[in-house]
Structure 1
Amino acid sequence: MIFLKYKVLKKQNIGRKCIVCGNQNDLGLKSSFYELENGELLCVCHTLNEHQSYPGRVHGGISAALLDETIGRAVSIGNEDVWGVTVSLELKYKKPVPTDETIYVIGRIDKENRRLFEGTGEIILESGEIAATAHGKYMKMDVDKITDGSFFSEEEWFEDSDDVKEIEIPDIKDKKKHDKK
C-alpha cells in the first residue's frame, strides 16, 4: 500500500453535539478535520457498528453526511468566518464503506462567488479504493442566521487540538480512472 503524506496547516473546530464531529455525541462519528497544504480539507473518521445499515456496512446516509460536512467545511479554509448551508448534494456510491474502519474524506472547493460555492469530495477506504464521490452546492450564510440567532458559544464550538503536523492517507487506487471522471 502506498500512502501520501501531507502537511497539516490547521485542525478545524468541532461542535460539541454535532453528529459528524461532536466529541460529546455518544452515537456520533467524532470526525477530525484537517486543512492540508494542498488547499483541500481532510476528514478522518473511524466508523462504528452503530453507523451500519446492513451488517458490516456503513449506512449511505452516514456517507452522505460525511461528504456534505467535509465539502461544506472546505470553504472556511483561510477564512473561518465563512459558513455554508447545503443547497444540493449529488452522490455516487461505488463501494460499501465498512464499519470498524478508519476512512478518509477529502473535500475541495471548485467554484465560488460572493453568495454560493460548489465543491467535490470522495470517501477513501484504507485500501485506497474510492467508496463514494459527491458534488455539492452551498449558500454562504452568517452563522447567526444558521443557528436562529444563537451564536455558538465556546461550549458549543471549540478547538479540539492534537499534535498532528503531518498526516498520511492511502493513495487512491486506479487514480487514472478517477481523474477522468
Structure 2
Amino acid sequence: MKRQVNSRMCFVCGVENPIGLRLVFEEEGKQVWAEFTPREEHQGFPGILHGGLTGTLLDEVMGRCLMAGGEERWMLSAKLEVRYRKPIPIGEPLTVMGEVVQDRGRLVETRGEIRLSDGCLAAQAKGIYIQTPQEMREKMERELGDWQVWVG
C-alpha cells in the first residue's frame, strides 16, 4: 500500500484549500481508495450527502487511478456516469474506491464506488478519461508550479 501525492489547492485533496475535502489517497496496483466522513456542510437534503459531491468523490478517485504506480498521466474527465444506490448519510465514514478497467493509451475506462461503513454499496460510477492535449499540459505545468504536496 502506497500513499499518493496531494496538491495544495485541489478541492478534493488540497491540503491548503480552506473549503476543500482534504482526502488522502492510498494505492495498491491500479486500485486507489480513500476514507471520507461527510460533514453537515456537505449535505443536500437534510442528513444526506449532496449528490454533486458524490460525483466529485467518484471522479477524483477514478482519475487518481491514472496516477497509480507513479505514472505522470495528465488526463481529463470525458464522461462520468453515476448510479446512486442508497442515500449517503452525513457523519458516517465512507470508503471511496476506483480502478482502471481498460487502458487504451489516450483513452482510459475506469470504475468507482462508494461504500458505507457496513460495506453496503451506496454509489457506483463509470468514467472515461482522455489524454490532455500537449499545449494544455504545458500551460498547466507552467501555472501549477510546485503543486504536489506529500502528506505524512
Are 1:73 and 1:84, in contact at CA under 8 Å, matched by a contact in 2?
Answer: no
State the TM-score, normalizing by the size of structure 2. Answer: 0.90
Counterpart residue identity of residue 16, structure 2? Q
Q: CA 1:78/1:144 → structure 2, altered by over 3 Å: closer, same or farther?
A: farther
Residue 123 of structure 1: aligned partner? 114
| Corresponding residue to 1:135 among 118, 126, 134 | 126
Count of equivalent residues: 151
Are 1:83 and 1:143, in contact at CA under 8 Å, matched by a contact in 2?
Answer: no
Matches of 1:52 and 1:13, distance apart in 2: 27
Q: CA 1:69/1:147 → structure 2, altered by over 3 Å: closer, same or farther?
A: farther
Unpaired runs of 5+ residues, structure 1, are: 1-7, 162-181
Of residues 128-137 and 71-80 in structure 1, the stretch that sits farther from structure 2 once superposed is 71-80
Q: Shift of residue 26 of structure 1?
A: 2.5
Counterpart residue identity of residue 112, structure 1? D
Residue aligned with 1:67, SS: helix
Matches of 2:113 and 2:43, distance apart in 1: 19
| Corresponding residue to 1:17 among 9, 17, 22 | 9
Q: Shift of residue 146 of structure 1?
A: 4.7
Q: For residues 122-145 of structure 1, what are the alpha-carbon distances to aligned partners after superposition, in whole Å with 9 as ceiling and x for unaligned?
A: 001111111100000001226872
| Corresponding residue to 1:29 among 12, 21, 26 | 21
Counterpart residue identity of residue 71, structure 1? M
Q: For residues 1-32 of structure 1, what are the alpha-carbon distances to aligned partners after superposition, in whole Å with 9 as ceiling and x for unaligned?
A: xxxxxxx1x11111212111112222221111
Are 2:30 and 2:69, in contact at CA under 8 Å, matched by a contact in 1?
Answer: no
Of residues 133-142 and 55-64 in structure 1, the stretch that sits farther from structure 2 once superposed is 133-142
Residue 45 of structure 1: aligned partner? 36
State the TM-score, normalizing by the size of structure 1. Answer: 0.76
Q: CA 1:143/1:74 → structure 2, altered by over 3 Å: closer, same or farther?
A: farther
Are 2:13 and 2:24, in contact at CA under 8 Å, matched by a contact in 1?
Answer: yes
Counterpart residue identity of residue 59, structure 1? H
Task: Please state if 1:157 is matched with 2:137.
Answer: no
Matches of 1:87 and 1:46, distance apart in 2: 27
Unpaired runs of 5+ residues, structure 2, are: none
Q: Shift of residue 34 of structure 1?
A: 0.2
Structure with the larger helix share: 2
Task: Please state if 1:71 is matched with 2:62.
Answer: yes
Counterpart residue identity of residue 12, structure 1? Q
- Percent sequence identity over matched residues? 34
| Corresponding residue to 1:108 among 99, 115, 120 | 99
